[in-house]
Amino acid sequence: MLTDVDDEPDDAQPHGEELEELRDSDFPGYFSERDNRLYQVDTATSPYPLPIDTPENKRVRALHKMLKQLIAGNYIGPVAEVLAPREGQQKVAIDLGCGTGDWIMEMAKDFPHVSFHGLDIVPIATRYPDANVQFELHDIGEPMRWANGSVNLIHARSIFMTVRDYSVIVQESARMLKPGGMYLSGEWGQFPAFHPHFPQAEGHPGVHVPGLDRFYRMLRDVLALRGIISPVASTVDQRLRNSGSFTDIQEHIFYMPIGSWADDPMHQTLGKRNRLAQTNFMNSIRPIFVAAGVTQRDLEQLYNECWTEMYGASGLVSIYYLVSACRI
């Protein structure tokens, strides 16, 4: 929901720009239906290929809950210090590609004195946010309205498919962040992997899970056709270093089990839920394979092979790269 920003400090104001509230009649114009799934209408600038309907939103919300359990919270690093109240200053935080808005709404409750802004190209977040939350429609691949050095925290989770060049996000974030402000990135590795405690982690994953290996290689190819360059997850920390704008760059790697192979109950539960999330992701991505010329027969054979591997391969994980950095 778009509202005005008259209650914000001068250094966070846009340059002569005012926001307008989205009316009920405006909502249908942001969505189109294809193959019984809803997608964003604006594909001219944003390359995002996944649906934005109820099944996909449920998958994203499930992943949010799983990640919160896996990393024991909504963030790592000195976020609390960066967002701590300071007399005479309005702290500002931006969530890029906020989606359903779960992360930002939870953070807003933990930091009620902070002005939170969630940006996404489609209106799928709640229309009734807390008083310190504002959801705005914006293509995050384009310049943003905040002045130089006016933002305290920028959060970017699972956004690599929303932009053709991730370095644009790094550059724009560096422009908006105050000195000492924090950039917090989280991206999933787009490749099959095994937990490092398993011997299968050594060598090429295609030897142990050839179906999943082929799936992710095909995914990289079809994303490239849309101008989306991958992988990104394992390169975020180096991109931040290369920018010359950040210090105290920390990369944390988390392993989310796929399947029920883990010994402890918590990771068994996470593994079962993640396997379902991976299955739902494969179903959501299916149309872009078809659009790229993969036959339904070949796709069914590949997917069946992938599902067999996800149910039978011990040690299989999704890798989550969580990177924090402070603006110089």
Do 77 and 182 meet the contact criterion of CB atoms below 8 Å apart?
A: yes
Give the total number of structural domains in the chain: 1
Residue 24 falls inside a structural domain = yes
- The predicted-structure confidence for 132-176, as pLDDT tens digits, reads as follows 999 999 999 999 999 999 999 999 999 999 988 999 999 999 999
- How far is Cα 219 from Cα 288, in angstroms, rounded to an integer? 9
The alpha carbon of residue 144 and the mean position of all alpha carbons in its chain are separated, in whole angstroms, by 18
Residue 23 falls inside a structural domain = yes
Q: Which two tokens stand for residue 77?
A: 């690093």
Do 169 and 323 meet the contact criterion of CB atoms below 8 Å apart?
A: no
Residue 161 falls inside a structural domain = yes
Residue 308 falls inside a structural domain = no
Side chain identity at residue 180, one-letter code: G
Question: 33: exposed, middle or buried (C-beta count within 10 Å: 0-12, 13-18, 19+)?
Answer: exposed
Residues making up the chain, counted from first to last: 328
- How far is Cα 314 from Cα 321, in angstroms, rounded to an integer? 21
Please report the pLDDT score of residue 127 as a whole number: 86
The range of the structural domain enclosing residue 29 comes to 10-190+228-256+318-327
The Cα angle at residue 246 between residues 240 and 250, in degrees rounded to 5? 70
Residues 6+ apart with CB under 8 A from 133: 101, 104, 105, 108, 116, 117, 118
Q: Which two tokens stand for residue 10?
A: 């001068």
- How far is Cα 139 from Cα 301, in angstroms, rounded to an integer? 36
For the whole prediction, is pTM greater than 0.85? yes
Please report the pLDDT score of residue 100 as a whole number: 93
Residue 197 falls inside a structural domain = no
The backbone torsions φ and ψ at residue 205, rounded to the nearest 5 degrees and listed phi first, read -65, -25
Write the CATH number for 145. Answer: 3.40.50.150
Q: Where are the alpha helices (DSSP H) in 17-148?
A: 54-70, 79-82, 102-110
Residue 179 falls inside a structural domain = yes
Do 220 and 230 meet the contact criterion of CB atoms below 8 Å apart?
A: yes
Residue 290 falls inside a structural domain = no
Do 119 and 140 meet the contact criterion of CB atoms below 8 Å apart?
A: yes
Per-residue pLDDT of the chain (328 residues; tens, 9 = 90+): 443 333 344 444 444 356 656 555 555 667 788 888 888 776 556 788 898 889 999 999 999 999 999 999 999 999 999 999 999 999 999 999 999 999 999 999 999 999 999 999 888 898 889 999 999 999 999 999 999 999 999 999 999 999 889 999 999 999 999 999 999 999 999 999 999 999 999 988 889 999 999 999 999 999 999 889 888 999 999 999 999 999 999 999 999 999 999 999 999 999 999 999 999 999 999 999 998 999 999 999 999 999 999 999 999 999 999 999 999 9
Half-sphere exposure of 259 (CA within 13 A, CB side): 16
